[in-house]
A and B are shown apart, each in its own frame.
Chain A
Amino acid sequence: MGPASLDFVNVIKRYGAVTAVDNVSFRCEAGSLTTLLGPSGCGKTTTLRMIAGLELASEGQILIDGRDVTHLSAAERDVTMVFQSYALFPHMNVLENVMYGPRSSGIGKEQSAEMAREKLGLLGLAGFDTRLPSELSGGQQQRVAVARALVLEPSILLFDEPLSNLDARLRRKVREDIRALQKDLGLTVVYVTHDQEEALAVSDEVIVMSNARIAQKASPRELWEAPANLFVADFIGDANVVDGTITALDGDVATLELDGARASAPARGLVKGPVKVAIRPDALKVMRDTGDGSSGIAGTIGTASYLGKYMEYEIRTALGDLFVTAPADAGECGVGDDVRLTPKGHGIAVIPE
């Protein structure tokens, strides 16, 4: 059937008095990888389960390839899923697990086995047919789960936090494998994670969710460079959100005043006056205050932690406590030092809301 687009139109999901997903609309293009990102309880998993048909929407419409599937059950939708726990059937071996989908669809035993072997081969699992899931490593189990979800060549493939049960070293490789597979096969994939780095690394588009609503839907770069609101700025990349003022506008570029320091950032349609500003932890240069009246935001080091690759500082300023990272070179500062912070020229954005 090939990859399909996915549309959510004003979808609401209620559990009694609780609204888990509140009036959500978005579109995923055919052949793209879209990530649902957000803190736990934000509604991302419920959204994913509504795509699968494991939960039925209370209101609104869900369209796959333009066809209304809102009221179809999971078994009736052309959508498969890789579960967080993999959900491999423990009483079936690898081949039986992967054959399960075709067999349920009424395809004969031999043809099902052939389809299963093809996908197992694709995932590098040829020869594992008769192993039980309990006899496989975590990474192998996950590939079986992917093979099982792929064997029906679904319109949409879903991943529910697929990396959370893997150890840290394996995660990067598996995440690259998933992205490569998605691109090679041209799959439409919806992917749920709470890890922003993972989301930025694999996605064509990221949907950030907060409190049952979509906070922003954008490409990874746009999300980082132009957060739509305070939540996204804070959630993606731990930005410091401070009060600033737009003092001048030059076309699309705004000049910002931040407690004595000057910075420039895309204006994003804002006018002169007070504004919320997101400052990335690596956007400020930290220098000891030599008392010569130099420019920059004045501050005092509250805490300093050595993390090998860089230093993390908590710096008390008139703008509030700022979280700042700096290279761990010889010029590092100690607790109680007075410092000046100067914008480096990137990593500062105004927030429209």
Chain B
Amino acid sequence: MIDRFPVFVTAAGLLCPAVLAFHADDPAGLAGVLAAGHVVPALAALVFAATGAASLAGATRAGALVGAFGSLLALALVIIAGFLPALATAIGLAAGEIARPLGPGAAVMAGALVALFAGSIARFGAFRNDRFVSVSVITIGALVVLFVFWPVVRMLSEAFYGESDVAARVFIDRLLQGDIWSLACLWSTARCGVAPNTVILGILAAFFSTSLALGLALIAVRTNVRFPRAFDALAILPIITPPFVIGLALIVLFGRTGIITTAMWDLFGIPRSRWLYGLPGVLLAQVLSQVPLSFLILVGALKALSPTLEEAAQTLRATRTRILMTVTLPLLLPAIANTYLLAFVESLADFGNPLVLGGNFEVLSTKIFFAVVGAQHEPGRAAVLAMVLLAFTLAAFVLQMRLLGKTSFVTVSGKGDSGVPTELPKGLPAGLWGIIVPWIALTVAVYTIVLIGGFVKDIGRFDMTPTLDHLRTGFLVEWTDNGLFWAGSAWDSFWTTVLVSAAAAPLTTIIGLLTAYVLARQHFRGRRSLEFLTMLSFAIPGTVIGVAYILAFNVPPVEITGTGFILIACFVFRNMPVGVRAGIAALSQIDPSLDEASATLRASTGRTLVAVVLPLMKPAIVATLVFSFVHAMTAVSAIIFLVTARYNMATAYIVGRVEAGEYSLAIAYCAFMIVFMIAAIATIRLVVGEARLGRRGSGEIVSGGN
């Protein structure tokens, strides 16, 4: 029987380059570069032709042998030609193919080589002879190395490049600059360096958000208060809120001419000040945006606690306070620590709020931004700052992973754990309410500002005359003779954002869930490395990724800066770990013997995935689609480095409006996006469907059988 896979890969690897441009700066296809005497494509074409012919002739093993060694050699040459020009010249590659920006033709050819290599080695026992797994793992691995690992490595190496020399001294000099590490603010009025600033902000933000969330969670789970169903919306709020919206609303409330500031002046004679701009404002904004997420994590942990443990403590004569202090809180400790570290990392990675509210208070993420786009333009310095930030987040990330590994004592045995949790100590709920009510009021005020701010004349000066002017400036649609005319100034960035997000979401879902499947269900060498690489991109702050991308993809062979593709790639590989986590969580609920049953019934791994696993993973699919779409729409930190005039994104546009002082338009845009995203989420749920295991398709098959 003819093995169809190599034939298919061969066809793709030869036909696509034949019609698509091989190099990004030259429309010539495969024929053109072969005529120019390029060695690498010639070798690749030879490998494809030989493998395809062997497969067609039925010589499966011979074809696989040629495919494995040939594609490996060709790929090595691709890497040498692209990344190691000196070596490439030395081994005699044509000058025209060294360090050239690769085009779509070359991309397809390289992809086909990877697939051919993976498929061929599976014939010789790799990945337990499973070609589907082999191709999936190696393709994912290659993509993650190219789009996560390589940019970070490239950025790190940039830190060592000076004006004239390359040396460790350059790196040390940059690293030890006073404005990075100075602790002067602790004992004098001088300012601290960015690194201490960032860490202090992170510690405070994590402390306040975790404490507030814990209080809220105790009230929600352990008192008779029934929060309305609308509280579930909390889950969605943080992700559909563009990151700097809260900062904007705070300016409107507490800025020098803010609503509350003005009221305080009018009523109590409290002078106007700029207290908001700096640590307090950034901290307030970060805590506001972090609390909902922390609340959800802690509620989950609190609900998972077995009430029988508290009942046992009660029978042992412990008072309510004693139970809270000696049983409940210690058992919650891993979840609390996890929440704390998560908030810490979020604060470190936050870019929007420090940009809007930071004033003279500088943190690493904004400092990196200004080092790249500011007047001085020092990519080397940005790289050093990015390394510092990366070191902090990785440290927190590693700590978090360790903690999560030790949470096992919280797990419940599953049987007979009914019981009534102990009530909170007297007085505690009242105290908690005292803090929480003002907090909720503030949150409501912030979101009210966001919702109405765009529809009144000037919310910044409390001119509440209703108007549609701002919406019209941004989103006017005119009906002309030539059809619709998107006259509003925001439409360009809006449609780019929607298109890029819509392109990134399904890709993220596919690659994320496929990775989850191979990680959770397949055993192969290098599984831990793949897991580490995917999780690595989760730990890298967006600003760092942004810098890494412009440094790595501004030069051949993968020169994609300024294209829409770099935005899509950035979103796919930043959000992929969320898909991986959702997928692994969903798979842990699916009995592995279902996969095995499918395998014993002659289904290939690919068919098992499509027919059995995916239908059962619908909730994870929906969650990943929604998350990656929405996150792509609201992301700002990474893409602010990558946008161009042609591919401007909504968030970058809004940041521009804020910098120009056009708060009303910025707020109107945010409100428009929030509404749009809610509609988009509803649509995704409608199209992909809910997770119910209905009687789908049964009638059709019965009639088909008769």
| Same complex | yes
Interface residues of A (CB under 8 A from B): 52-54, 56, 71-75, 77, 79-81, 83-85, 87-91, 93, 95-96, 99-101, 104-105, 109-110, 113-114, 117, 129-130, 132, 134, 148-149, 152, 158
- Segment touching A, from B276-284, B502-510, B602-610, B672-680: B602-610
A7 to chain B, nearest CB (A): 19
Determine whether B139 belongs to the interface, using a CB cutoff of 8 Å to chain A: no
B699 cross-chain contacts in A, Cβ below 8 A:
130
Is the beta-carbon distance between B602 and A134 smaller than 8 angstroms?
no
| Docked complex Cα distance between A263 and B615 (Å) | 66
Is the beta-carbon distance between A130 and B705 smaller than 8 angstroms?
no
Contact among A54, A90, A130 for B600, CB-based, below 8 A: A54
Is the beta-carbon distance between B607 and A104 smaller than 8 angstroms?
yes
| Docked complex Cα distance between A117 and B702 (Å) | 11
| Docked complex Cα distance between A148 and B600 (Å) | 11
Interface residues of B (CB under 8 A from A): 125, 128-130, 591, 593-594, 596-605, 607, 611-612, 615-616, 693, 695-699, 701-702, 704-705
| Docked complex Cα distance between A99 and B698 (Å) | 12
A70 to chain B, nearest CB (A): 11
Is the beta-carbon distance between A96 and B128 smaller than 8 angstroms?
no
B611 cross-chain contacts in A, Cβ below 8 A:
100, 104
| Docked complex Cα distance between A117 and B605 (Å) | 26
**Given A95-B702, A113-B705, A85 and B600 touching (CB < 8 A)?**
no
Is the beta-carbon distance between A132 and B693 smaller than 8 angstroms?
yes
A69 to chain B, nearest CB (A): 12
- Pairs of residues from A and B, 9 with the lowest C-beta to C-beta distance, nearest first: A113-B705, A101-B601, A87-B597, A74-B599, A87-B593, A104-B603, A104-B602, A83-B593, A93-B698
| Docked complex Cα distance between A83 and B129 (Å) | 24
Is the beta-carbon distance between A54 and B616 smaller than 8 angstroms?
no
**Given A52-B600, A81-B600, A130 and B698 touching (CB < 8 A)?**
yes
A110 to chain B, nearest CB (A): 6
Is the beta-carbon distance between A53 and B599 smaller than 8 angstroms?
yes
Is the beta-carbon distance between B602 and A81 smaller than 8 angstroms?
no
**9 other contacts beyond A81-B596, A149-B601, with CB at 8 A cut-off?**
A53-B599, A53-B600, A71-B129, A81-B600, A89-B598, A95-B701, A99-B701, A104-B603, A104-B604
Chain A's closest residue to B596 (CB) is A54
Is the beta-carbon distance between B604 and A75 smaller than 8 angstroms?
yes
| Docked complex Cα distance between A56 and B129 (Å) | 10
A67 to chain B, nearest CB (A): 17
Contact among A87, A96, A134 for B596, CB-based, below 8 A: A87
Is the beta-carbon distance between A100 and B601 smaller than 8 angstroms?
yes
Contact among A75, A84, A91, A129 for B599, CB-based, below 8 A: A75
| Docked complex Cα distance between A79 and B696 (Å) | 30
A85 cross-chain contacts in B, Cβ below 8 A:
591, 593
Is the beta-carbon distance between A73 and B599 smaller than 8 angstroms?
yes
A48 to chain B, nearest CB (A): 11
B528 to chain A, nearest CB (A): 13
Is the beta-carbon distance between A117 and B705 smaller than 8 angstroms?
yes
B121 to chain A, nearest CB (A): 14
Contact among B128, B603, B696, B702 for A129, CB-based, below 8 A: B702
Is the beta-carbon distance between A89 and B602 smaller than 8 angstroms?
no
Chain B's closest residue to A108 (CB) is B704
| Docked complex Cα distance between A56 and B126 (Å) | 12
B600 cross-chain contacts in A, Cβ below 8 A:
52-54, 74-75, 77, 79-81, 149, 158
